[in-house]
Structure formats: structure tokens, C-alpha cells
Structure 1
Amino acid sequence: MNTLLFALIGALRSHRWLRFLGFAYILSSLGNGLTQVIIFGQLLHWHASPATLTIVYMLSMLPSFMGSIWGEILCKKTSPLRILIFTEISGLFALVFPIYGLLHHNVPALLVVQCIEALLSGISYPALTLLFKRGLRHDELPAATAMETIIFASQVLLGTGLGVLLFGLIPPLHLLAIDALSFTASAILLMMSAAFFCGEAHRSTETTPVRRESLWRAISPLQKRSIMLLPALAAVGSPAMALLPALAQEIRPEDSAGLALPLLFARSLGQLCGPLMLDASKLQQYAVNNRLLLACLSLFIGSYFLLPLSAGYRYIGLVLIFSAHMASNIVFALGTFGILRNFPQTQVAKASAMSWRVQVLTATIFTGITSAMAQYFGAFYALYCMSLFSLVAVGVLLWLNRTRALNKVNLRLRE
């Protein structure tokens, strides 16, 4: 079976710029993960309320809505690689806020860095998608999906993994110094990749004209489904992901940080492993398979529902969170592949930015409601109510869209 992992290895052998890009974002993600450990670890040690912990998660998403708009505009005016280099350098300078927050016990300063990182993520996402579309052949797009999966997962897999081992053993300011080094190295590697990318990016271009009408009105049902997969995942996943630190507080109030940080690590390990096992040649069929998508989302929710049973057994909790996010990131991989596969180069940045914005809005709304419910009724009650509601809503949405999207896929496969 030609899995996404093997597809990525083949593309890395063929494209030197992709190797530099991969190393750059792995290092950058390591730094971002360390920042997350510092923020959540300090807030848990300062005994922040469940509402505050949920708001931190919400602030890590909401500014990226504006960032995606800026990223889409910048993609029309400059090279996507320049945009990515700009975001890495900006991320380096943003570390002044957590430094101030740690030195002065200032919670708002920790929240500010969450906002800045979200803004930069929104700017970079359309640029990264456009970069893959320009630099990779059509048959290499599954490799881009695998690369995005690794970038998405390594933030917590590497950063949180290192952070969990070092948090409490060395001062948080030293962790921020490692973070700064990662941003610096990432920016240098992206600059090195520019020379190799420029020679390949113009070898082929698509001539599809840019339509002046609204993108949503102009695209096919299959393309609309591709855009909506990530927001659907956000609707189901954001309540549980936002509540994870608060759930750790309720399960083990005497050592919430000691439980929450390993759970965050297990979360990202699952995010990495799930998608890489998919058959690269069948991604298009998987993306319109409602049973597969709903099974993954149901496994995600079911694992979180069983989390209270692991109160006295840490390893059971780790297995549950690993399984949950292995399933959820299969949906993530299919959503990112759909945008790369089903949109031409002239529309892919706009489509990815649109998907990102709807995803952010969906996650923000569901997280806000979840935060209020957790404050008044408890984290587990909020989890059960919001997760079940969102799963039913997504199931209805997928069922309504299935027939037209499946017909479009069958036509594509015959071509």
C-alpha cells in the first residue's frame, strides 16, 4: 500500500526545497510547542479557572481569522516563501511577551503571545498551501498532505514532548531561549530553500482564469465539501480540545499539570500517526466516504467520553487521547488534500484561506459556548452536550452533500 508516509519520502528525495522547508517547520513547531507548554503549565500552576484555560485555547485561534485574510492578500502580491520567512521572524520577536509575563506574573502577556501566534498561523496557511501547489506535481499532492500533517502534529509532538520532560526541571526562561533558537534556525532554512524552489516553481503553471464572482458561488459541490471538512472537524473537535486542561483539573486536581501535559503529548502523537497510514492512492474516495468520516469523529468523541474512567490509570488516559486524535487527524488530512487536489493554482490560496476562516469561526463559537457551560456546569457536562450536538450536526451536513460530491469524484476518476 502506498501510504502518505511513502509518498512524502518520495517527494523529499525529488525536491531539495521541500527538505529545507520540512526541517524549518519541524524546528519552528518545536518552538511553538514549547511556548504552549510554558503557557498552559504556568496557568495550571497559577490555578487558572476552567474558563481562563478555555479562553487561552480560543485566543490561539480567533486572531488567525484576520491573519488568513492578510495571508490571502499577500499571496497575490509576493512570494509565499517570503511570507513564511516573515512569519518566522515575527514569531521570534513575539517571544518578548511570554518573557514579560513570566517575570511579572502577568497572565494577559501570556494571552498576547497566543494571539500573535494565531495571527501568524493564519497568515502562513494560505502561503504554505500555495507553495505546495506551485512546487509539487499533481501526483505528488499526497506528499503535501503528509507534510502538513507532520507540521501540524510536530508542534506538540516535539515541542510538548521536550517541554513535558524539561518543564519543572529547568527555568521557563531557558525553554523560551530554545524557542528563540528554533525560530531563528527555521527562518535561515526557509531562506536557503528559496534558491532551490525558484527554479522549480515556474516549470508549470495552470491557466485557469481567476473568476471575479464569489468563490463560493463559482465552485462545485465537491469543492464546497473540501472547504467544509476542516470546519466540520473544528465543530466536533474544538470543545474536547479546549477542555482538555480543564478535564485534567477535574480528574486529578492535586496534580493537573502532571496529567495535562502528557495528555497533550499523546494528543499530538495520535495526530501524527493516523493520517500517515492512509493509502495515498485512495484519498479522494476516502474524502467522500461518510461512514469513514463519521466513524473517525465518533471514535474521537467516544474516547473523550471515556476519559473520566481513567482517573486512577494515567496510561489508559494516554491511550484514549492518542486514539481520539489519530482518528480526528484522518479527517484533517482528507480536508487538506481535498483543497490541494480539487482547486487550481489560481484559487487554492483563496480556498484554503476561506476554509481556515470558517474553521476558526466554527471553533470560536463552539469553544465560547463550551467555556460558558464549563464554568457553570463543569467540564464533563459541557463536553458531553457540545460534542453530541456537533456530531449530529456534522452528520446531517455530510449526508446532504454526499450524493453530488460522490458523482463528481466518479467523473474525476474516469478522466
Structure 2
Amino acid sequence: MLSMLPGFIGSIWGERLCKKTSPLRILIFAEILGLLALAFPVYGLLHHNVPALLVVQCIEALLSGISYPALTLLFKRGLRHDELPAATAMETIIFASQVLLGTGLGVLLFGLIDTLHLLAIDALSFVASAILIMMSAAAFRTAETQPTEAMPGRQEPLWRAISPSQKRTIMLLPALAAVGAPAMALLPALAQEIRPEDSAGLALPLLFARSLGQLCGPLMLDARKLQLYAVNNRILLACLGIFIGCYFLLPLSAGYSYIGLILIFSAHMASNIVFALGTFGILGNFPQTQVAKASAMSWRAQVLAATVFTGITSAMAHYFGAFNALYCMLPFSLGIVGVLLWLNRTKAPNNVNLRLRE
């Protein structure tokens, strides 16, 4: 909960800030706040204060919510329409740096060097990020002159003003969160039930396999067909079905760690195909005047879906066990997502089908 709910408030702030200031300034502001937030883990380590460590989760979620609308607006401004598929690759690169330089390198260094030295390296990464963003400002000087808000006058709520296909686009990432968040939250508990004697030794490789699968998923897509894939319910449900199937087979990997790693890798590779299509849909289906608001709305719905379904799943796991909760919740959430996709089904534009035939 601490790593998700503050992102709801953060996305509201991020959306409002995008109307008043440059998205580059918002990202620099987020990096500076992230640097200052390192005071909490330092205090927590020096005084053995667990709440101070948990505050870091809240701040990370808050800053992620603030940054997401700004980053989406930056992609929309910096890329032409035919270059928007590159935004999914950019998201993959961003996630890769987080996984390989953050989680991966952090796990390797933890225990080898002093924790305060590790936090000092983390502080340097925030400083380097802020400097790189400032250096990139020159490339966006022309784009910064473009308006971020819609035409003046009284504006009705975005949800009422947009088309059914745009509503479907906003719902895609929350749908993924409803299916994926319970399984991701249960992964350490599943590792404990599979190998009670060495759950930590299995959980960390499973978490890393999950991250690598998330990284590789978007690489499986043909950039020329992203718009067609995004409106194809069969592809979306097939990916979510693969995700669930791999988690259902996880108990069979007991005693065979490599099978479990392959299953988790495959599951999250499939789920991040849906994530890439949702990201592309928001960039491709909304004009610059609406993209920050649409991305913030999708982020908030994603946070709420993840919170509700994870909360229910955790309560079930507490009373009935992790695997029983998994077997009950995942088909239930997939059924809800299937109904929503069917009710909001749409077709690819004719120009997309024409280009594919050519």
C-alpha cells in the first residue's frame, strides 16, 4: 500500500504542474526531492527506525506519480506521430536502467560495501540524473513554446469529452494492474511455500527474472503494428492468459529452480507487452493538450486497481494460503478485464489496415 497509494496523489499534482510549468522542470524537481528523501533511509539505518525506511516507499510512489504525466508529455512533444512507437522503447530503456543499475546492482553490492556508502552512490545517481535532464533542455526549447492546455473556455471533464477508443486506452493499464498486481505482490510468499527452507534464496532470483521479463516484453512487438495490436482483444487476453498460466504452473517448479525462473520470466514478458501497448495507446490517441491529463488519469486508475485487488488477495492469502489466493483471484480479475475489453471493443483505423496490407 505504501508503494502504491501515494502515487494517486502524485499524479494529481503532476497533472496540475504540467499545465503551469515545463515537464523538464518537473522531472528535475522530482530528482532533487528524491535526493533529499535519502535522509530518511540514513536516519532509519543510524537509529534502527523502521517507519523512516517505510517513508521512502511513500516518497518513491509520490514522485513516480508526479513524474509520469511530465514524462508522457515530454515524449509527446519530442516525437513525431510516426516516431511514437519509439516511446515504448524509451520506456523499456528507462525500466532497464532501473532494473540493471538499481535493483540488480544494488542486490550485488548490498553486503559487500557499507550501506551508507551505498546510499552515497544512490545520491550521486540523483545528481547525475538532474544534470542530464538539464543538459537535454536545449533540445526542447522549441517544443516548450507550444501550449499545454486546451482552448480557453469552460471545459467538461475529460472522461465525458473523449471517444470510446480513448476511454479503452485509459482503461488498458488499470486492467493490467488488476491482473498483474496480485501475482506480483504474492511472489515472495509463493517462493516461501515452494521452498520454505530457503525462501530468500529463491525469492531474489524470481524477482530478478520478473524484471528481466518486463524488460524483454516490449521487444517482442513489431513497431509498425502497435496500433493494430492495441485494439485486438485476442492478443491482449492471450498475453494476460499466458501470465496467469505461468503463475498457475509455478508450484510444479518445486525442486527445479530454473523452471520457476523461466515461468516468471515468460509471465512478465507477456504482461509487459500489454503495458507497452497501453503506453503507446495513450501517446497515440491523445493530442498534446490532453496527453498529460489522460496519462495521469490512467495512472490513478492503475493505482486504485492495484490497491483494491492486492488488498483482497493479501487478505485471502493470510487465511487460505498464497497459492489458493492466487488460484481464486487471477481468474476472477481476468474475467472482469475480459468483460471490460469486450464492452469497449473497437476497431483499428482504416489507414492502419491499409498500411499493413501494403
Match in the other structure for 2:311: 368
Distance 2:68 2:339 in 1: 28
SS at match of 1:59: coil
* C-alpha distance in 2 between matches for 1:290 and 1:125: 26
1:395 aligns with 2:335: no
Is 1:170 aligned to residue 110 of structure 2?
A: no
In structure 2, what is the Cα distance between the partners aligned to 1:181 and 1:81?
A: 19
The count of corresponding residues between Structure 1 and Structure 2 is 354
1:232 and 1:295 map into 2 onto residues whose CA distance is: 14
Asked whether the equivalents of residues 160 and 261 of structure 1 are also in contact (C-alpha less than 8 Å), the reply is no
1:40-79 alignment, distance < 5 Å: 58-79=1-22
Match for residue 183 of structure 2?
Answer: 240
Q: CA deviation at 1:344?
A: 0.4
Q: Distance in 2 between the 1:173 and 1:243 partners?
A: 30
Q: CA deviation at 1:370?
A: 1.2
Over 3 Å counting, the alpha-carbon distance change for 1:177 and 1:248 in structure 2 is farther
Decide whether the 8 Å contact of 1:156 with 1:264 is kept in 2.
Answer: no
Superposed CA RMSD: 2.0
Q: Provide the identity percentage.
A: 84
Name 1:271's counterpart in structure 2. Answer: 214
Query: Which SS does the other structure have where 1:264 is aligned?
Result: helix
Contact 1:157 1:265 in 2 (8 A): no
Contact 1:300–1:324 (CA<8 Å) still a contact in 2? yes
TM-score, structure 1 normalization: 0.81
Q: What SS class does the counterpart of residue 344 from structure 2 fall into?
A: helix
State whether residues 149 and 290 of structure 2, in contact with CA within 8 Å, keep that contact through their aligned partners in structure 1. Answer: no
Contact 1:300 1:323 in 2 (8 A): yes
Residue identity opposite 1:283 in structure 2: L
Q: 2:25 aligns with which of 82, 88, 108?
A: 82
The one-letter amino acid of 1:105's match is: H
Deviates more, 1:290-299 or 1:269-278: 269-278
Determine if the alignment matches structure 1 residue 410 to structure 2 residue 354: no
Whole-angstrom CA distance in 1 between matches of 2:103 and 2:8: 25
Contact between 2:170 and 2:298, CA under 8 Å: does it hold in 1? Answer: yes
Deviations 1:203-224 (A, max 9, x none): x779963670011111001100
Query: Which residue number corresponds to residue 43 of structure 1?
Result: none
Equivalent AA in structure 2 for residue 209 of structure 1? M
Q: Give the structure 2 partner of residue 179 of structure 1.
A: 122
Which digits, 9 at most, give the CA deviation of each residue in 1:97-152, with x for residues without a partner?
A: 12222333332222110000000000000000011111111111111121113223
Q: 1:250-299 CA deviation, whole Å, 9 max, x = no partner?
A: 22233322222221111111111111231111101000111110110011
Is contact 2:19-2:148 (8 Å) kept? no
Map 1:8-407; keep pairs closer than 5 Å. 58-202=1-145, 209=151, 212-402=155-345, 405-406=346-347
Q: Distance in 2 between matches of 1:250 and 1:174?
A: 35
Amino acid of the residue matched to residue 78 of structure 2?
Answer: G
Cα deviation, 1:58-113, whole Å, max 9, x if unaligned, reads 21111000000000000000000000000011111111212222333332222110
Contact 1:227–1:352, Cα closer than 8 Å, also in 2: yes
Q: 1:106 to 1:308 in 2, by over 3 A?
A: farther
